[in-house]
Amino acid sequence: MADITEQPLLRLEGISKRYGATLALNDVRFDLRAGEVHALMGENGAGKSTLMKILSGNVTRDSGRILIDGREIDIRTPRDARNNGIAIIHQELNTVPDMTVAENLALGREPVTRLGILDRERMYREARQKLARIHADIDPHQPLGALSIGRQQMVEIARAVSEDARVLVLDEPTAALSRPEAQALYAIINQMSRAGVGMIYISHRMEEVWQLAHRITVFRDGGWVGTRDMRDISTAEVVRMMVGRQIVDLYQHAARAPAEVLLEVTGLAGDKAGPVDFQVRAGEVVCMAGLIGSGRTEVARLLFGADRRTAGQVRLAGRESAPADPAAAIADGVGMVSEDRKSQGLFLDHSVERNIALSSLDRYVIGGVVRRRAVRAAVSEQMTRLRLRQNALDLPVKDLSGGNQQKAALARWLLRDSRLLILDEPTRGVDIGAKREIYELIDQLARAGKAVLVISSDLPEAIGISDRLLVMRNGRIVHEMPSATATEETVMLHATGTFAGQAGKGEGMQYEQR
């Protein structure tokens, strides 16, 4: 444990920020001590991201003060933030995939010879030193894009440490990590804490906040709610602070009565997954569980026509479905919310209305002309259903919080009225209040006769919202079980290939909820 003093390393006082009529931050405060991991929590739209944009120099505050070691500083650009020892590891990594690890580590600070030519030998030598500081065994000659998301994240952290960052912001750092990658990140965080680096940790995952953080601050509706020591607060109290109400029975739903088979998959295979056989009935929620890389997303992409099918048959409501591309799958009544909503699910610079209407415009065309009023009315109805504020219709979808972006992605398929919905990590990066709303929506869709296939790395979620579980490993379905009899341990035993009788010997027994 780091030796944490009471003297703040960083202090934010009276920070406010307004976007037009929206008050994003209202006189909030926050402080961080050297060597401390200070969790910042709140629902999507609570103001966390706006505050971090101000701290990183990407947004200018309207009022308030920023102090380092008691000295007031002015941050107006990202360079100002770096010069004051502040670094941010964003949820969407700020790296260049086509460049090597070493080139990314040196970006903007490339070593040169006396002749002004890039000194490659020194660049790779220094890259190895930077990686060694955080005990990252990564080849600096590799293209960054060839690494897993977790190892790319380590490269970003190595760069921040090499620039002698004293304040490090980690924004949803484990959202796309496998369990071993998350454990490696935790070790790096503990190492930096011992070295005196102050860390602001933003996450919706309660269990990792309790594992890592020393203190927690909660924002709600752009305002400061409270700061507490982790030893003096419970999970239930944090949730009440975040949402202003108590949330109980997060996954509870009445028993569902599935009808006829709507999706029947036989011997489905592609280049990266299969063959797999399974069914999903109308009125049923089936969840694919397994470790990252087990082939779950690859199966979903085959069903949606996003990847080429090499074998197998898919039948929808008894009729063969062989979509050559997503457009054909949509025409067959399939909708998919992808794992990465920002790069694969949404057009960030386009309006919320356009993003939601995109897959249903053909239904609002008469004589080659789109009925704009009808589209707007239909989109508004789905936004009301999902509790998306109506004044967001014309906003670029990138201006919404993560949870509201996910709702916009869901609204697209509600408007299309798809009969099979594939939801890949539907609550990743979403706060607990929005999670509850999404779970309720999934239940409503199933009760309306839809077939819902969910992919989730959150085992309590996977078990809690589904009727059946399909466990995947190495591109195959290795076990099927009713959710009512499933436990996290049994799922992990099958997901890792550690079977009954080997208890205590396999990695499944060391599983920690993520």
Position 268 scores a pLDDT of 94
Mean pLDDT over 268-295 rounds to: 90
Question: CA 52 to CA 315: how far, in whole Å?
Answer: 48
Q: What is the pLDDT of residues 109-125, one digit of tens each?
A: 889 998 889 999 999 99
Report the greatest alpha carbon distance in the chain: 75
pLDDT of 193 reads 92
For residues 177 and 273, membership in a common domain is answered with no
Is the residue at 123 inside a domain? Answer: yes
Judge if 192 and 140 occupy the same domain. yes
Residue partners of 357: CB distance under 8 A and separation at least 6: 364, 375, 378, 379, 412, 415
pLDDT at 11: 96
Same-domain pairing of 186 and 69: yes
What's the pLDDT at 479? Answer: 93
Beta bridge partners of 278: 265
Question: What radius of gyration do the chain's Cα atoms show?
Answer: 24
- The predicted pLDDT at position 421 comes to 95
d(CA 418, CA 334): 5
Other beta carbons within 10 angstroms of residue 303's beta carbon come to 23
Spatial distance between the Cα atoms of 147 and 363, rounded to a whole number of angstroms: 42
pLDDT tier, 178 (very low <50, low <70, confident <90, very high otherwise): low
User: Does residue 273 belong to any structural domain of this protein?
Assistant: yes
Mean pLDDT calculated for residue range 280-296? 89
Residue with more model confidence, 250 or 113? 113
Same structural domain, 148 and 270: no
Coil/strand/helix, residue 375 = helix
The DSSP element (H or E) to which 160 belongs, if any, is: helix 149-162
Write down the residue that tokens 């009788």 correspond to.
Answer: 501
Question: What pLDDT score does 449 carry?
Answer: 93
Mean pLDDT of the chain: 85
User: End of a domain among 215, 243, 271?
Assistant: 243
Cβ–Cβ under 8 Å, residues 288 and 299: yes
Residue 423 lies in domain: 261-333+418-510
Instruction: Judge whether 125 and 463 are in contact, CB under 8 Å.
Output: no
User: Is residue 366 domain-resident?
Assistant: no
Quick one: 233 and 283 in the same domain? no
Residue 140 · residue 127 · CB < 8 Å: yes
Residue 418 near residue 335 (C-beta atoms within 8 A)? yes
pLDDT tens readout for residues 50-106: 899 999 998 999 999 999 999 999 999 988 998 999 988 876 667 788 899 999 999
Q: Is residue 409 part of a domain?
A: no
For residues 429-438, give the mean pLDDT.
79
pLDDT, tens digit (0-9, with 9 covering 90-100), for 369-428: 888 889 889 989 888 888 887 778 888 888 877 778 888 888 898 899 899 999 998 887
User: For 198-242, what is each residue's pLDDT tens digit?
Assistant: 999 998 778 889 999 999 999 988 899 999 999 998 888 887 888
Quote the pLDDT of residue 334: 94
Q: Helix, strand, or coil here: 191? A: helix
Q: What is the pLDDT of residues 163-177, one digit of tens each?
A: 888 999 988 887 666
Q: What is the pLDDT of residue 247?
A: 60
**Contact present, 144 and 99 (Cβ < 8 Å):** yes
Looking at the domain assignment, is residue 436 inside a domain?
yes
Q: Are residues 158 and 217 in the same domain?
A: yes
Number of domains present in the structure of the chain? 2
pLDDT band at 506 (very low <50, low <70, confident <90, very high): very low
* Contact between 99 and 138 (Cβ < 8 Å): no
pLDDT digits (tens, 9 = 90+) for 452-495: 999 988 888 899 999 999 999 889 999 999 999 998 888 888 88
Q: In angstroms, how far is the first alpha carbon of the chain from the final one? A: 22
115 and 228 within one domain: yes
Question: Helices 179-194 and 149-162: crossing angle, nearest 10°?
Answer: 10
Six-digit token string for 386: 């999902």
Q: What is the pLDDT of residue 181?
A: 73
Q: Nearest 5°: CA angle at 401, between 457 and 464?
A: 30
Pair (275, 238) in one structural domain: no
* Mean pLDDT within 428-449: 85
- Predicted pLDDT at 511: 28
pLDDT at position 126 over 60: yes
Cβ count within 10 A of residue 15: 23
The answer to whether position 463 is within a domain reads yes
pLDDT at 100: 94
pLDDT of residue 93: 67
| Domain boundary residue, one of 217, 243, 269 | 243
Distance between CA 398 and CA 352 in Å, rounded? 9
Same-domain status, 227 and 304: no
Q: Domain boundary residue among 200, 217, 243?
A: 243
Q: What is the CATH number of the domain that holds 210?
A: 3.40.50.300
The single-letter DSSP state of residue 344 is: I
Let me know whether 232 and 280 are in one domain.
no
pLDDT tens-digit map of 12-62: 999 999 887 778 899 999 999 999 999 998 876 788 888 999 999 989 999
394 lies in a domain?
A: no
Whether residue 230 contacts residue 214, with contact meaning beta carbons closer than 8 Å, is answered with: yes
Phi/psi of residue 30, each to 5°?
Answer: -165, 140
CA atoms within 13 A on the CB side of 440: 13
Q: Which residues pair with 279 in a beta bridge?
A: 264
Q: Cβ–Cβ contacts within 10 Å for residue 246, how many? A: 9
- Residue recorded with tokens 């995939």: 97
Helix %, strand %, coil % for the chain, to 5? 40, 25, 35
- How far apart, in whole angstroms, are the C-alpha atoms of residue 43 and residue 430? 8
| Statement to judge: residues 48 and 184 lie in one domain | yes
pLDDT tens string 308-357: 999 999 999 999 988 889 999 999 999 999 877 766 778 888 888 888 88
pLDDT band at 509 (very low <50, low <70, confident <90, very high): very low
3 state SS of 447: helix
What pLDDT shows up at residue 70? Answer: 92
Tell me, yes or no, whether 89 and 55 share the same domain: yes
- Look at residue 367 in the predicted model and tell me its pLDDT: 83
Side chain identity at 268, as an amino acid letter?
Answer: L
Residue 124 falls inside a structural domain: yes
210: CB partners within 8 A, 6+ apart:
230, 235
